[in-house]
């Protein structure tokens, strides 16, 4: 995107109540006229704004503010997923959307590996037995040679595939475009063939972006096709899974276990069945949030702002119809 307008751009930064501002706010101010606002003030702040930085990356406030966003050219989301803020008018517009593509690749890959190892080595059960002062010897599962089906073949999926392969798992992918000679996955199968390929996997790992095509992609049919010893890992979005079908499959031991970092409702309600299920391992939507992650996100926006100011193309441009950054 070339920038023929040499005036200092007006940047609106959406910050949630209680959320700290980007640590490099002074550096951002040196390149732009900056306005900080919360969701309630976004409509007014959007008038005349060139750029919107969604530091509050789960906010959907832009949809309501959209009629006032009369000069908006670029929206940056400080997250890998853009489903929370996307709506039809934005998709149809000329406004460029960028995201935090790349920032979370390795941290999430490490979390997936940790989830698989914790399952295979029964670490959750060991902790529970420790708390009960119970000494119980068991035999564990060898992780090397087991099969992982990674659903989602973008940057995070590829980082995950490479890490799992490095420790000896056999990996295949599920993605939009099937191919048989992928350098990271070996074979990539079409998303429509998830159920047919789920039976191969010891671990089904969900990393796909949430779109209308991927919503509830893990449904009754997919769960029924999985091995009774299979382990589901979800680090993508909660709505990738038909949650009621998953609860039933876990209660009836159609699959062995699920490690879930994301849920259809967050925080998970206190009366949700997941809390008391011994074959569900929960974390609070934190799989990519390693120490320093907020600073990395702030640096990423500043770097892109500087690219724009120098007339370069923006990095990490999202395909608004597909909902993610297209990679080669």
Domain shared by 145 and 83, yes or no: no
Helix (H, G, I), strand (E, B) or coil at 201: coil
Per the annotation, the verdict on 47 as an active-site residue is no
Task: Point out the catalytic residue in the list 266, 313, 322, 326.
Answer: 266
What is the model's pLDDT at position 328? 57
Domain shared by 249 and 140, yes or no: yes
- Whether 5 is in a domain gets the answer no
Find out whether 75 and 34 touch, Cβ atoms under 8 Å: no
- Whether 4 is in a domain gets the answer no
Domain shared by 76 and 114, yes or no: no
Q: CA nearest 301: which of 15, 79, 93?
A: 79
Per the annotation, the verdict on 237 as an active-site residue is yes
Domain shared by 233 and 188, yes or no: yes
Question: How distant is the alpha carbon of residue 280 from its chain centre?
Answer: 20
Domain shared by 63 and 198, yes or no: no
What is the model's pLDDT at position 216? 98
- Whether 1 is in a domain gets the answer no
179 Cβ neighbours under 8 A, 6+ residues apart: 187, 188
What is the model's pLDDT at position 242? 98
CB atoms within 10 A of CB 16: 14
Task: Point out the catalytic residue in the list 158, 281, 285, 308.
Answer: 285
Query: How many residues are listed for the chain in this entry?
Result: 328
- Whether 251 is in a domain gets the answer yes
Residue 88: enclosing H or E segment and its boundaries?
helix 88-92
pLDDT digits (tens, 9 = 90+) for 178-191: 999 999 999 999 99
Q: How far is CA 73 from CA 63, 79, 221, 288, in A?
A: 15, 19, 43, 29
Both structure tokens of 327: 């990679």
pLDDT in tens, the chain (328 residues): 444 446 899 999 999 999 999 999 999 999 999 999 999 999 999 999 999 999 999 999 999 999 999 999 999 999 999 999 999 999 999 999 999 999 999 999 999 999 999 999 999 999 999 999 999 999 999 999 999 999 999 999 999 999 999 999 999 999 999 999 999 999 999 999 999 999 999 999 999 999 999 999 999 999 999 999 999 999 999 999 999 999 999 999 999 999 999 999 999 999 999 999 999 999 999 999 999 999 999 999 999 999 999 999 999 999 999 999 987 5
Domain shared by 113 and 76, yes or no: no
d(CA 270, CA 25): 37
Task: Point out the catalytic residue in the list 76, 101, 147, 237.
Answer: 237
Per the annotation, the verdict on 189 as an active-site residue is no
d(CA 223, CA 156): 23
- Whether 132 is in a domain gets the answer yes
Residues of the domain holding 242: 105-282
Helix (H, G, I), strand (E, B) or coil at 113: helix
Classify residue 63 by burial, with Cβ atoms within 10 Å: 0-12, 13-18, 19+: middle
What is the model's pLDDT at position 4? 45
Helix (H, G, I), strand (E, B) or coil at 173: strand
- Whether 151 is in a domain gets the answer yes
- Can you tell me which residue has the tokens 């069945």? 273
Q: Is the dihedral of CA 25, 30, 32, 36 positive or negative?
A: positive
Q: CA nearest 55: which of 24, 95, 9?
A: 24
Residue 157: enclosing H or E segment and its boundaries?
helix 155-166
Both structure tokens of 83: 């489903």
d(CA 234, CA 259): 6
d(CA 258, CA 282): 8
Domain shared by 26 and 71, yes or no: yes
Domain shared by 69 and 191, yes or no: no
pTM of the model: 0.94
Find out whether 14 and 42 touch, Cβ atoms under 8 Å: yes
- Whether 197 is in a domain gets the answer yes
Find out whether 90 and 69 touch, Cβ atoms under 8 Å: no
- Whether 271 is in a domain gets the answer yes
Domain shared by 46 and 156, yes or no: no
Q: What CATH number should be reported for the domain holding residue 174?
A: 3.40.50.720
Domain shared by 237 and 92, yes or no: no
Helix (H, G, I), strand (E, B) or coil at 194: helix
Domain shared by 97 and 109, yes or no: no
Domains in the chain: how many in total?
2
Domain shared by 151 and 169, yes or no: yes
């Amino acid at each position: 995107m070339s920038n023929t307008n040499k005036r200092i751009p007006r940047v609106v930064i959406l910050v949630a109540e209680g959320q700290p501002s980007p640590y490099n706010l002074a550096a951002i101010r040196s390149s732009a006229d900056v306005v900080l606002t919360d969701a309630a003030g976004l409509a007014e702040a959007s008038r005349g704004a060139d750029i919107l930085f969604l530091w509050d990356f789960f906010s959907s406030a832009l949809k309501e503010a959209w009629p006032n966003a009369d000069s908006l050219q670029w929206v940056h989301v400080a997250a890998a997923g853009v489903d929370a803020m996307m709506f039809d008018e934005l998709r149809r517009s000329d406004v460029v959307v960028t995201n935090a593509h790349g920032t979370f690749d390795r941290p999430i890959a490490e979390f997936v590996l940790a989830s698989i190892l914790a399952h295979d080595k029964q670490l959750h059960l060991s902790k529970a037995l420790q708390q009960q002062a119970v000494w119980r010897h068991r035999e564990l599962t060898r992780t090397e040679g087991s099969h992982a089906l990674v659903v989602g073949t973008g940057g995070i999926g590829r980082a995950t595939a490479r890490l799992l392969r490095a420790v000896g798992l056999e990996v295949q992918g599920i993605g939009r475009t099937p191919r048989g000679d992928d350098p990271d996955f070996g074979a990539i199968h079409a998303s429509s063939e998830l159920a047919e390929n789920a039976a191969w996997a010891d671990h089904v790992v969900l990393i796909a972006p949430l779109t209308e095509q991927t919503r509830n992609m893990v449904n009754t049919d997919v769960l029924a096709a999985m091995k009774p010893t299979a382990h589901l890992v979800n680090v993508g979005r909660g709505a990738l899974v038909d949650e009621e079908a998953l609860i039933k499959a876990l209660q009836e031991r159609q699959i062995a276990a699920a490690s879930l970092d994301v849920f259809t409702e967050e925080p998970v309600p206190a009366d949700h069945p997941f809390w008391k299920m011994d074959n569900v391992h929960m974390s609070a939507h934190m799989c990519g949030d390693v120490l320093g992650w907020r600073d990395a996100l702030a640096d990423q926006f500043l770097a892109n702002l500087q690219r724009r100011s120098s007339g370069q193309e923006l990095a990490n441009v999202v395909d608004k119809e597909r909902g993610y950054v297209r990679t080669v």
